[in-house]
Amino acid sequence: MSKSKYNKFVRTVKKLFGVDHRDYFNSAIIVAAGLSERMKLPDNATKQMIEICGIPVIVRTVLQFEACEDIDEIVLVVRKDEFELYKKFYKEYGFKKVTHIVEGGETRQKSVLNGLRKVNPEADYVSIHDGARCLITPKQISEVCTWAYHYGAATAAQKPTDTLKRCDGAFIKETVDRDTIYQATTPQIFKYDMYRAAAYSAKKEDIKATDDNSLVERLNFKIYICDLGYQNIKITNPEDLYIAEAILRKREEEDG
């Protein structure tokens, strides 16, 4: 029996006998290959390189996954013209779990697939996260992991705070019951084989999806909703930078 097969056998036996769930091998794919068009930045700059309280957005994100005990490796999916910056970050911030830095695709869906191809083939779970959600914490990542390990799939989410309306053209058709509605965020965590089947099935059938949950939903797998509250924002518009900085400073005060 090869060493890799033996290690997988040992992990399987441990799981059967109730060993701590961190014995699952969990690969994180962090996607940061977008164009940041809504940020309206000059000179082809991207939001993932903007500093918040002195640290670039993408570095903050990576450091949270580095600090999470549930995450075993990190695959970064980035813009090709930013490769050199990531090599610099790798040394400057001491990334230990980043195993691959790969080029993104034309769409987010294609970017995740590029990252999936570099995931350790022995992975039990894959955790997919938006690089611009830099306020996620290791504790929150572990919370979503725990539910994914129990149900096979789980997603971070938050309840909407506004009244929601379904429209017919430019006019309100009805009010949506927001008690049954969640806004999907990330990380979105799945059994590796489950997500791989969903991703390649969608690719084969040319299915376009807005998030990774959508791909898995197509195959009728259940995905547990994990409400992480309202601080796990995605840096999308210029105003988000002020909100993120305020949240980080508040956390610093609370932590002393």
Instruction: Kindly list the domain boundaries of the chain, sorted by start residue.
Output: 22-250
Q: To 5 degrees, how large is the angle CA 103–CA 142–CA 136?
A: 60
Among 45, 76, 64, which residue's Cα sits nearest to residue 232? 64
Output the six-digit token pair for 63: 């450091």
CA dist list (Å): 143 to 40, 45, 79, 123, 149: 34, 33, 30, 19, 10
The answer, yes or no, to whether residue 214 has pLDDT greater than 80, is: yes
Q: Does pTM surpass 0.85?
A: yes
* pLDDT digits 0-9 by tens, 29-55: 999 997 756 666 666 778 999 999 999
φ/ψ (deg, to 5) at 16: -60, -30
CA distance 251 to 256: 9
pLDDT band at 19 (very low <50, low <70, confident <90, very high): very low
CATH fold, domain 22-250, is Spore Coat Polysaccharide Biosynthesis Protein SpsA; Chain A (3.90.550)
What is the helix (H) or strand (E) element at residue 225, kind and residue range?
Answer: strand 224-227
* pLDDT digits 0-9 by tens, 168-206: 999 999 999 999 999 999 999 999 999 999 999 999 999
Compute, in degrees rounded to 10, the torsion defined by CA atoms 164, 169, 172, 177: -30
Alpha helices in 47-191 (DSSP H): 57-66, 83-92, 108-116, 138-151
Q: In the beta sheet, which residues pair with residue 76? A: 30, 101
* DSSP state for residue 72 in the 8-state scheme: -
